[in-house]
């Protein structure tokens, strides 16, 4: 990474501000919350994939000494999750582990005992084991409004796909499958709920969006938004798994309201796999056409998403995947059909990348195969086709900055792509994956606002208030760097305050990779507001105009007058300790001026090198070369960390992770049985940071929160195909799937 | 109280916003703080009034299982409290209960056991039992720099007192004594300290000034101010008892640093009486001269304050009492001498009223006697002499508003003063006391700034951030009312956030009665800033100019156009959910433009009616009629509550409270033995609120935090003198003191 002498904070690697507390175990998480009189809550769950609730008798549980509250469907009337799930269904249950009742007791043993004392009579109903069963004629309907068990459908053309296919030189069709996964954040689901007054509910919980949690709980309990206070001390990861409230948040609150005491519900290891709701199974069909020169002209995609027993916000995955058909290549036409299908599986939502990483596992392989069909080097294919700065997609997305081709070129050169492709070794393979990712996306509300507030103390140290949660992505440190750059002080001089909706400035949340871009812009604006107040003092004391001042390295200097200088802290001190007595406080916000979508997109390319063990079918990722256009690297080391984390998770999903389902049951519901690689299985990674300096980003920055993972799985899959001579079309690329192909293709082993 | 139809929030009684949580026990206090791994800290104290520390052996305590840290003087080197007290003295100990060592252990039993295992060898030294002993020639010197054991002395003339005395028609001299008291807040001293990093100390504790606590601990531990975070959940009273850090704050922090764990130190009942440091013994000599018409011309005061073994900020009591000589009457000249005297008593500071309530017990009786000397009705004397609006004192204090004469007139009329004085009954008495009190006072720093920040959510509810602690005076509710008045919404629509120096806007604190005036002005400014942003939206939608809008009763209306109206919440919603996407945030601050002193003074007069039991000497306060000029009553019910609380405390001090000292020991160190009245002993109170509408106060408001108590003790003392024919010159007016006089004066019984 080139150092930028013109910046004193941005672009200089800064260890996470919360790093020491995290590694020494001093950081507090929700499970550390202990309140006077707090009860332990536990949940009774349905053991069947589909059943009718005939009768529930809680009298023996209620009589157990130490039990303070038991709630069933009648306590939860009117509370709905998402589109069609009652919090506690009074009649039909649609998945294994669905919540049936909950208890709060003085201790965990009593709560567990109370669950055993609740007697429930179920009538098993015929189940929908998978999407095939759900779509079969005459299949039982899970929800009256979901005709044919289709919970949501989007089908649209852009351009004239039929004409484009007719004109195409070559057309190819492929089918792919990705299987359900768990988000695998480090911290299990947990919530402490406290109805301190009948109109004030406080909930401590990890979250990616305190605002969405607040609005959801407020709606459920019919309170104004301000009647719900979300407290997020720290979040042990998110990966899209904490964007929405889950039943345990409501159940803890119901139990608190009924008992008049705070209630904590903490998921056990196996419950975690029922509650996670990451990506479900997806079946993809792609058909695309290219012209004689290898230009991609038209894409037709048909996708089926298993949404399980209920639907919440999974339609977003349809929105995102449909927009990806023309995101990377300037195609003439697209056709898209996406359907959410109800089954009696868990109501899965989506995983890190909003479903796009899985989508690109499929689409990236499809495009790779298209290039090979034409005898083209996939890198050349991408370079020929990739979008560039100034391009506007069929759907109207405009790229004000775009380093995609630079990423492709640099990663290919750095990885030695051409040479390695030439001197092909048996059972070794190399593959490329490319991607784009929005930096924030308006659509949930009319606004996509982030706000920030900063106060500067008379020791020159500042507190920066943001509503953006940091669930491990180090965004708080990035925010401190942005504020520090504006004020010309060190990021370590800034304390980032966040995690309390009563206090935080508004922020839509940490999803759609909006943090660095949206909240970063808000932080920049708030810091500029504060700087103006300090500049007034400094300018008066130095006898110059505020516009002549430069804030840098803890000093306020005057442009072209090197003798005039004043420490930042002194200027702040003098602003307060003065006749005016001004305390420096800055406020700012940012909202995308677009009606919908995003102002900025990041781009990336990754090249994976793998080797395959012919005896076991095990794939080893030897190296990943990753080039990412992040606009501007606010904190280069963390940008690399984000890339590393996503490569690790992408590799994990590509090769290992799968919630193995049977009859609606997760068969491997533990961190022992659900396979993930260990730290030492991390491949060597070479990072190439491309800075296209987006005109709208804070100091030019764009997202790096989900962009990298979108490239990883396809790169690995293409490398495996390169190694074994045939694509693996179902994820994960488990050893048994590799062995199946190797058994067929003795030529490569 | 007259209702003011032009205000929708100010002047309307509003129950405390935290009232429900307080009375239902939901409010959290420092002792509710439980942190992972938290240790119990306890303090080893000196049993002697003066001693040399010969040797201390902590080895057996350190070896006790469960003990995680022991600290002695060597751990505390360089940490000083106030002017001359080392946190842990390595050699000389100057009062009973002085801190010698501290331990932190996994539980309280182990901590207590560890204290017993510390062996200390003391050499007793000759002690200074009282001020007489301290001032005697040849007395041992407690501190080398305090010549003659005088820790601090102020002596000054204003005008020409000698000439004024020479010209006086009548001169009178009196002597008075007030004895040491305890602040008697409800919550004992407690602190949880957590050195989360070597450069970050967090301390949970009740406080009246988080800023002063932060600066004090930062100085002690050589950290920048921002390296110390003060967390004040709720404070169970203060009464000047929580303006400064005490040894336990530092000891908890030292123990935390040494053990690497959070440490809680909680005072026991008897420790509380050693740690409280309320008012010490004061001896007063007054000599004053009046002219032929009864005009007070000159006052000469000589005061001795027992400051105990050490001195911290007690010089403030000298500053305050000296300023009081010309505060109430436009005298020609004053002479003042005040001395802080070191003894081996506890290092007392001062009580509610900063020493002025005790001072007025004495001076108010002195003036009353002067009037009676002249055959004047004391009320007439006050009415003749009292200061008025526009007056500037000898010391330069200017009264921009002053309702003192109105208070005297109204209270006299309401109490039936003239009639009751005429039909005098035996052993019944009536007495008047008057007072003035600053609303904030610059002097501690160059600024006396309060800052505020407000955010308004899209449901129209706001969070108001202030650094002003509410230790029971209901100032947070007052702040909410001020913000509500500006925004035209209900105070209950506002959440007040406070109690965390990392987050709070700067505020010097809750002392010198600066809350309503200073912080209130800051809140008003912040709210106006927010209103402007909302007005922009509303004006655009209503098609008018922002200046035409009126915010009231949750509605935004247009002056003189009654059909144009818009709900406040809708205007805020539309400000956010708009093309601009603005999140409403307002910031503001207030700083007195004066170099020192106060912009506004409140005034008051109280008339007490008492009866005396001739057999027991017990004084019963039958009724108090209290008129107070508070500028503007922001929350009338709470203004009355503040008056009630101070009348109760004033009566308690006047008649009951005394830390009985012997050889430096408190002989009555418990809430059982330290006498206070019970709730049912509260006299009937009639409240008269006078609103002089100060030009600088928020909506005209001035303080009501300490003004009332200044009037109470003198009124009761004067009433007792009226009942038994002779003043009781020593406080408390305990039964035995009354009986002593009754024994002499058979005429009145």
pLDDT tens string B117-171: 999 999 999 999 999 999 999 999 999 999 999 999 999 999 999 999 999 999 9
Token pair 């095990």 is found at: A618
The domains found in chain A, sorted by start residue, are 19-28+444-590 (3.30.365.10), 34-125+190-237+242-268 (3.90.1170.50), 355-439+600-744 (3.30.365.10)
User: What was the pLDDT predicted at A198?
Assistant: 87
Considering just the CA atoms, what is the radius of gyration of chain B in Å? 27
CA dihedral A730, A735, A740, A742 (to 10 degrees): 110
Is residue A21 within 8 angstroms of chain B, CB to CB? Answer: yes
Q: Rounded distance, CA A272 to CA A189, Å?
A: 7
Chains A & B: contacts with CB separation below 8 Å: 136
Residue A51 Cα distances to A102, A122, A662, B352, angstroms: 18, 6, 16, 68
Q: Rounded distance, CA A142 to CA B618, Å?
A: 82
Q: Has residue B4 got a pLDDT over 70?
A: no
Q: Rounded distance, CA A277 to CA A273, Å?
A: 8
Is residue A20 within 8 angstroms of chain B, CB to CB? Answer: yes
> Contact, B639 vs B689, CB < 8 A?
yes
Burial of B559 (0-12, 13-18, 19+ CB in 10 A): exposed
Q: At what angle do helices A520-542 and A568-576 cross, to 10 degrees?
A: 80
Q: Rounded distance, CA A541 to CA B448, Å?
A: 22
Per-residue burial over A548-558, b if 16 or more Cβ lie within 10 Å, else e, is: bbebbebbbbb
User: What was the pLDDT predicted at B469?
Assistant: 95
- Interface contact flag, B226 A495, Cβ < 8 Å: yes
- Interface contact flag, B583 A457, Cβ < 8 Å: no
Structure tokens at A184: 């695998």
User: What was the pLDDT predicted at B453?
Assistant: 98
Q: Has residue A333 got a pLDDT over 90?
A: yes
User: What was the pLDDT predicted at B3?
Assistant: 45
> Contact, B485 vs B7, CB < 8 A?
yes
Q: What is the 3-state secondary structure (H, E, C) of B370-424?
A: HHHHCCCCHHHHHHHHCCCCCCECCCCCECCCCCHHHHHHHHHHHHCHHHHHHCC
DSSP per-residue string spanning B206-247 = --S-HHHHHHHHHHHTT--GGGEEEE-S--S--TTTTSS--H
Q: Rounded distance, CA A622 to CA A655, Å?
A: 13
Report which secondary-structure segment, H or E, holds A697: none
Q: Has residue B670 got a pLDDT over 70?
A: yes
Q: pLDDT (tens digit, 9 = 90+) per residue, A682-722?
A: 999 999 999 999 999 999 999 999 999 999 999 999 999 99
C-alpha B254, offset from chain centre? 29
Is residue B577 within 8 angstroms of chain A, CB to CB? Answer: yes
Q: pLDDT (tens digit, 9 = 90+) per residue, B75-88?
A: 999 999 988 999 99
- Interface contact flag, A581 B20, Cβ < 8 Å: no
Token pair 């309201």 is found at: A257
Does this model's pTM top 0.90? My answer is yes
User: What was the pLDDT predicted at A5?
Assistant: 52
User: What was the pLDDT predicted at A749?
Assistant: 56
For residue A699, what is the DSSP state? G
| Contact residues, chain B, for A445 at CB < 8 Å | 577
Is residue B589 within 8 angstroms of chain A, CB to CB? Answer: yes
The candidate with the shortest Cα–Cα distance to A475, out of A436, A515, A439, is: A515
Query: CA-nearest residue of chain A to B229?
Result: A495
The candidate with the shortest Cα–Cα distance to B278, out of B242, B325, B236, is: B242
Q: Which of residues 611-650 of B touch A (CB under 8 A)?
A: none
Structure tokens at A176: 């792919």
Structure tokens at A61: 């549980």
Region B171-182: mean pLDDT is 97
- Which residues are within 8 A (CB) of B594 and not within 5 positions of it... i.e. 6 or more apart? B442
Nearest-by-Cβ selection for A26 from B196, B458, B495:
B196
| Contact residues, chain A, for B197 at CB < 8 Å | 20-21, 26
C-alpha A417, offset from chain centre? 30
DSSP per-residue string spanning B249-282 = HHHHHHHHHHHTS-EEEE--HHHHHHH---B--E
Q: Has residue A408 got a pLDDT over 90?
A: yes
User: What was the pLDDT predicted at A229?
Assistant: 97
Q: Has residue A748 got a pLDDT over 80?
A: no
Residue A383 Cα distances to A20, A360, B697, angstroms: 43, 17, 70
Token pair 């700087």 is found at: A531
Q: What is the 3-state secondary structure (H, E, C) of A528-570?
A: HHHHHHHHHHHHHHHCCCHHHEEEECCEEEECCEEEEEEEHHH
Q: Rounded distance, CA B347 to CA B307, Å?
A: 5
β-pairing, A494-497 vs B333-342, is unpaired
Q: How confident is the model at residue B275 (pLDDT cuts 50, 70, 90)?
A: confident
Nearest-by-Cβ selection for B20 from A197, A226, A451:
A197
User: What was the pLDDT predicted at A353?
Assistant: 84
Q: Which of residues 500-529 of A touch B (CB under 8 A)?
A: 502-503, 505-506
> Contact, A274 vs A302, CB < 8 A?
no
Sheet containing B462-466: which strands, arranged edge to edge?
Answer: B494-497, B462-466, B450-456, B584-590
Taken in order A499, A505, A510, A516, the sign of the CA dihedral is negative
Q: Has residue B726 got a pLDDT over 70?
A: yes
- Interface contact flag, B591 A577, Cβ < 8 Å: no
User: What was the pLDDT predicted at A462?
Assistant: 97
| Contact residues, chain A, for B583 at CB < 8 Å | 449, 451, 505-506, 589
User: What was the pLDDT predicted at A140?
Assistant: 96
Q: Has residue A499 got a pLDDT over 50?
A: yes
Backbone angles phi, psi at B621, to 5 degrees: -85, 115
Sheet containing B228-231: which strands, arranged edge to edge?
Answer: B67-71, B99-105, B39-45, B263-266, B190-197, B200-204, B228-231
Active site positions of A, annotated: 706
Q: How confident is the model at residue A744 (pLDDT cuts 50, 70, 90)?
A: confident
> Contact, B193 vs B396, CB < 8 A?
no
- Which residues are within 8 A (CB) of B449 and not within 5 positions of it... i.e. 6 or more apart? A576, A581, A582, A583, B506, B507, B508, B518, B522, B589, B590, B591
The candidate with the shortest Cα–Cα distance to B203, out of B242, B241, B260, B248, is: B248
User: What was the pLDDT predicted at A2?
Assistant: 45
- Interface contact flag, A226 B28, Cβ < 8 Å: no
Q: pLDDT (tens digit, 9 = 90+) per residue, A61-83?
A: 999 999 999 999 999 999 999 88
Q: How confident is the model at residue B276 (pLDDT cuts 50, 70, 90)?
A: confident
Q: Which of B406, B657, B706, B730 is catalytic?
A: B706
Region A84-106: mean pLDDT is 97
Query: CA-nearest residue of chain B to A497?
Result: B503
More confident residue, A709 or B239: A709
Is residue A497 within 8 angstroms of chain B, CB to CB? Answer: yes
Is residue B578 within 8 angstroms of chain A, CB to CB? Answer: yes
Region A448-476: mean pLDDT is 96
Report which secondary-structure segment, H or E, holds A324: none
Region A371-396: mean pLDDT is 97
- Interface contact flag, B589 A581, Cβ < 8 Å: yes
Structure tokens at A442: 């308006």
| Contact residues, chain B, for A34 at CB < 8 Å | 34
Token pair 């982030």 is found at: A450
Q: pLDDT (tens digit, 9 = 90+) per residue, B530-584?
A: 999 999 999 999 999 999 999 999 999 999 999 999 999 999 999 999 999 999 9
Nearest-by-Cβ selection for A585 from B32, B587, B591:
B587
Report which secondary-structure segment, H or E, holds B555: strand B555-558
Structure tokens at A683: 């491949």
Q: Rounded distance, CA B93 to CA B98, Å?
A: 7
Q: pLDDT (tens digit, 9 = 90+) per residue, A294-317?
A: 999 999 999 999 999 999 888 999
Q: How confident is the model at residue A4 (pLDDT cuts 50, 70, 90)?
A: low
Using DSSP's 3-state secondary structure scheme, residue B612 falls into strand
Region B48-68: mean pLDDT is 98
> Contact, A106 vs A66, CB < 8 A?
yes
CA atoms within 13 A on the CB side of B539: 14
Q: Rounded distance, CA B201 to CA B42, Å?
A: 19
Q: pLDDT (tens digit, 9 = 90+) per residue, B277-320?
A: 788 999 999 999 999 999 999 999 999 999 999 998 889 999 99
Q: pLDDT (tens digit, 9 = 90+) per residue, A630-683?
A: 999 999 999 999 999 999 999 999 999 999 999 999 999 998 999 999 999 999
Nearest-by-Cβ selection for B196 from A21, A451, A493:
A21
Is residue A580 within 8 angstroms of chain B, CB to CB? Answer: yes
Q: How far is A447 from chain B (nearest CA, A)?
A: 5
- Interface contact flag, A20 B459, Cβ < 8 Å: no
Is residue B591 within 8 angstroms of chain A, CB to CB? Answer: yes
Q: Is B259 left (phi over 0), alpha (psi -120 to 50) or beta?
A: alpha
- In the predicted model, what is the mean pLDDT of chain B? 95
> Contact, B149 vs B345, CB < 8 A?
no
Residues in chain A: 749
ipTM here:
0.93
β-pairing, A228-231 vs A200-204, is parallel
Q: pLDDT (tens digit, 9 = 90+) per residue, B499-537?
A: 999 999 999 999 989 999 999 999 999 999 999 999 999
Burial of A423 (0-12, 13-18, 19+ CB in 10 A): exposed
For residue A400, what is the DSSP state? S
- Interface contact flag, B226 A457, Cβ < 8 Å: yes
């Amino acid at each position: 990474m080139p150092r930028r002498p013109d910046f004193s904070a941005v672009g200089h690697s800064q260890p996470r501000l919360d790093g020491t507390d995290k590694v020494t175990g001093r950081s507090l998480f929700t499970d550390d919350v202990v309140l006077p009189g707090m009860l332990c809550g536990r949940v009774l769950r349905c053991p069947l994939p589909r059943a009718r609730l005939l009768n529930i008798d809680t009298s023996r549980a209620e009589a157990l000494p130490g039990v303070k509250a038991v709630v069933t469907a009648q306590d939860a009337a009117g509370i709905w999750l998402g589109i069609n799930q009652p919090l506690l269904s009074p009649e039909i249950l649609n998945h294994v582990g669905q919540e049936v009742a909950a208890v709060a007791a003085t201790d965990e043993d009593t709560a567990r005992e109370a669950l055993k004392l609740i007697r429930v009579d179920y009538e098993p109903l015929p189940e929908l084991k998978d999407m095939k069963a759900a779509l079969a004629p005459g299949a039982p309907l899970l929800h009256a409004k979901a005709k044919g068990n289709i919970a949501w459908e989007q089908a649209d053309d852009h351009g004239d796909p039929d004409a484009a296919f007719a004109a195409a030189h070559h057309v190819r069709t492929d089918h792919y499958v990705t299987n359900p996964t768990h988000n695998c954040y480090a911290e299990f689901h947990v919530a402490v709920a406290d109805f301190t007054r009948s109109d004030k509910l406080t909930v401590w919980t990890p979250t990616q969006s305190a605002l969405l949690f607040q609005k959801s709980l407020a709606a459920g309990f019919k309170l104004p938004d301000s009647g719900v206070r979300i407290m997020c001390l720290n979040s042990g990861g998110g990966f899209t798994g904490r964007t929405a409230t889950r039943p345990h948040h409501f159940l803890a609150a119901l139990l608190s309201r009924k008992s008049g005491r705070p209630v904590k519900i903490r998921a056990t290891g196996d419950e975690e796999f029922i509650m996670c709701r990451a990506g479900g199974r997806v079946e993809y069909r792609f058909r695309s056409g290219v012209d004689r020169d290898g230009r991609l002209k038209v894409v037709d995609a048909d996708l089926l998403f298993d949404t399980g027993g209920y639907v919440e916000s999974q339609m977003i995955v349809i929105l995102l995947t449909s927009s990806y058909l023309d995101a990377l290549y300037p195609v003439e036409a697209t056709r898209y059909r996406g359907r959410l299908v109800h089954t009696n599986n868990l109501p899965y939502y989506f995983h890190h990348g909003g479903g796009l990483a899985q989508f690109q596992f499929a689409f990236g392989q499809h495009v790779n195969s298209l290039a090979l069909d034409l005898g083209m080097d996939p890198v050349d294919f991408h370079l020929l086709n990739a979008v560039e700065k100034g391009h506007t997609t069929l759907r109207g997305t405009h790229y004000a900055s775009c380093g995609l081709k630079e990423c492709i070129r640099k990663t290919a050169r750095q990885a030695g792509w051409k040479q390695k492709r030439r001197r092909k070794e048996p059972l070794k393979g190399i593959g490329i994956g490319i991607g784009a990712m929005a930096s924030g996306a308006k659509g949930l509300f009319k606004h996509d606002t982030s706000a920030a507030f900063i106060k500067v103390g008379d020791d020159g140290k500042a507190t920066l208030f943001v509503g953006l949660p940091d669930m491990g992505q180090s965004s708080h440190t990035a925010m401190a760097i942005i504020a520090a750059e504006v004020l010309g002080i060190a990021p370590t001089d800034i304390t980032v305050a966040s995690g309390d909706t009563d206090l935080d400035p508004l922020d839509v949340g940490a999803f759609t990779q909006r943090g660095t871009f949206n909240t970063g812009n808000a932080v920049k604006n708030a810091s500029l507001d504060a700087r103006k107040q300090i500049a007034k003092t400094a300018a008066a004391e130095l006898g110059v105009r505020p516009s002549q001042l430069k804030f840098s390295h803890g000093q306020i200097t005057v442009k072209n007058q090197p003798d005039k200088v004043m420490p930042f802290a002194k200027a702040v001190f003098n602003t307060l300790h003065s006749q005016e007595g001004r305390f420096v406080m800055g406020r700012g916000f940012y909202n995308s001026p677009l009606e919908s979508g995003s102002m900025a997109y990041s781009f990336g390319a990754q090249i994976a090198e793998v080797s395959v063990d012919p005896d076991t079918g095990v794939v080893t990722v030897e190296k990943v070369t990753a080039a990412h256009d992040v606009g501007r690297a606010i904190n280069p080391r963390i940008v690399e960390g984000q890339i590393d984390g996503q490569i690790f998770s992408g590799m994990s999903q590509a090769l290992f992770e799968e919630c193995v389902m049977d009859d609606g049951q997760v068969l491997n519901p533990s961190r022992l049985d659900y396979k993930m690689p260990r730290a030492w299985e991390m491949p060597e990674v070479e990072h190439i940071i491309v800075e296209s300096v987006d005109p709208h980003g804070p100091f030019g920055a764009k997202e790096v929160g989900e962009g990298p993972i979108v490239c990883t799985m396809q790169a690995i899959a293409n490398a495996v195909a390169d190694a074994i001579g045939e694509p693996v079309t179902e994820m994960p690329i488990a050893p048994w799937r590799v062995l199946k192909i190797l058994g067929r293709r003795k030529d490569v082993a």
